[in-house]
Amino acid sequence: MYQIDKSTNRIKQLSVKKFAELGFYERDHLQEWIANEPESLGEELLIIQKEFDGFDETKERLDLLALDKDGNLVVIENKLDDSGRDVVWQALKYASYCSNLNKSQIVEIYQNYLNRFCHGGDAKTLICDFLEITELGEVVLNSGNQQRIMLVSAKFRKEVTSTVMWLLTHGINLQCFKVTPYELDQQLFLNIEQIIPTREAEEFMIGMSAKEADQKNTETVLKNRHKLRLQFWEQTLEALKISQTDLFNNISPTKDHWLNAGSGVRGVPYTLIFGNKETRVELNIARAEKQQNKFIFDQLYKRKQVIENQFGDQLYWERLEDKKASRVKFTQMFDGYDRDNWSDMIAWLIDHIVKLENAFKKPLAEVNKELKQANLDSNEQIDETDDVDITH
């Protein structure tokens, strides 16, 4: 660090000092400096206690206890010229102890601090003022596991910085501040610098943590959905084995929300749909060539009245002009994620897939021959049961 001398247009180097050689002590000096100027740690903090020892069944005491602007407790541990090797473990213990403090206890701790060190004051009012909230009843203090840790020292050992970096990747809110005293012409200066994480890295890590949390939440939701679907299809396939159709006899359960079975016409499977709001039976027309799909759909649509009479209800015909595939479906509203509905859903699916098969079996065979006669199908084999993956 340098001092700028404007009169000579020169800079003078400041001498780096150690706290010990200057006669400074951790509790009498460094702790007092931070307690009286907490913004030196880069943010607004409300110091609520010094040398806090209000832990059950232990005589340990932390250096400074503070609140941040979000109402989180902040444990501040100060070391002078060397962090020592156990400072992280020490701070983690204090943070775990503090995690059980409730609002009334925190207010009492701060009131004791005010009475002892600040000539009194109303803790409730000052906390509300600091958090910019009018009523204490609206204040949330020490929520969940949001306790923070700040380590302050002139030097951090490698085992400390390595542990801090590892803990940061696991969501523990830790910061390291390097404090360095300087001297120039018998004047003393103090530099406080956040070194872990750096300010730029901290912003990046906050963004990454939010992203990772979102990804983990999404992965958990998907995992649960996959497990749920697999169990549903297992029950459905068991019920289908004793039903009037053998379409799904050789089909295995899947984690997908759909289940296909061949209709006897290539690329035109019957499909069962499991959803959180509805369940469906479908005839999907999903061959590789769009022209073939639209031809099959149009020829079936010409037989719409006959098909629906056989089915016993109106079907929903989707030509899907902007897509390659087309489909015909019938839908029923169910909350699929409520297991209590599964027996009704499975009964409905079986009943209507049987009806759908009966309604389309003859028309599909006729249209398949017409497709051959129209020279739109380059595949000579008429009767195939290839299943295809359909995206719904």
In this predicted model, what pLDDT tens digit does every residue of 102-152 receive, in sequence order? 999 999 999 999 999 999 999 999 999 999 888 888 889 998 888 999 999
> 41: closest CA among 50, 52, 30, 49?
30
342-373 vs 199-240: helix crossing angle, rounded to 10: 80
Ranges of CATH 3.30.1460 domains, the chain = 223-373
The whole-model pTM stands at 0.55
In this predicted model, what pLDDT tens digit does every residue of 301-337 receive, in sequence order? 999 999 999 999 999 999 999 999 999 999 999 999 8
Q: For residues 365 and 114, what is the distance between their CA atoms, to the nearest angstrom?
A: 89
pLDDT at 174: 93
Ranges of CATH 3.40.1350.10 domains, the chain = 2-197
Classify the C-alpha dihedral 388-220-343-231 as positive or negative. Answer: positive
Q: Would the pLDDT of 378 be above 70?
A: no
Over residues 62-73, the mean pLDDT reads: 95
Over residues 352-378, the mean pLDDT reads: 90
| 79, HSE (Cβ side, Cα atoms, 13 Å) | 21
Q: Report the top-level CATH class of 2-197.
A: alpha beta
pLDDT at 380: 42
Q: Would the pLDDT of 219 be above 80?
A: no
What is the CATH number that goes with domain 223-373?
3.30.1460
